[in-house]
């Protein structure tokens, strides 16, 4: 099984974005009220929603693409 959360954490690190910076971007672009602490908790617990993941990927400069094998 593909560990999507691990990949998302890796992309965040690769882009050099902190939870504080990510929460600021999400607030500015999407009026999202997630704080740095709540983001870190959601990453840690693995409780991000699909909408949150999509917004995070967009904020990091990526797009969601689903392809059939």
pTM: 0.87
- 16-36 pLDDT, tens digit each: 999 999 999 999 999 999 999
**What are the helix and strand counts (H, E) for the chain?**
4, 0
Report whether pLDDT(5) > 90: no
pLDDT of 1 reads: 40
Select from 46, 48, 17, 16 the least CA-distant residue to 32: 48
Q: Which residue ranges make up each domain of the chain?
A: 4-59
Give the Å distances, CA to CA, from 26 to 20, 55, 69.
Answer: 10, 7, 32
């Amino acid at each position: 099984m593909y560990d999507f959360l691990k990949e998302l954490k890796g992309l965040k690190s690769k882009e050099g974005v902190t939870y504080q910076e990510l929460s600021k971007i999400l607030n500015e672009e999407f009026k999202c009220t997630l704080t740095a602490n709540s983001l870190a908790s959601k990453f840690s617990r693995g409780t991000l929603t699909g909408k949150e993941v999509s917004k995070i990927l967009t904020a990091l400069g990526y797009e969601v693409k689903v392809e059939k094998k």
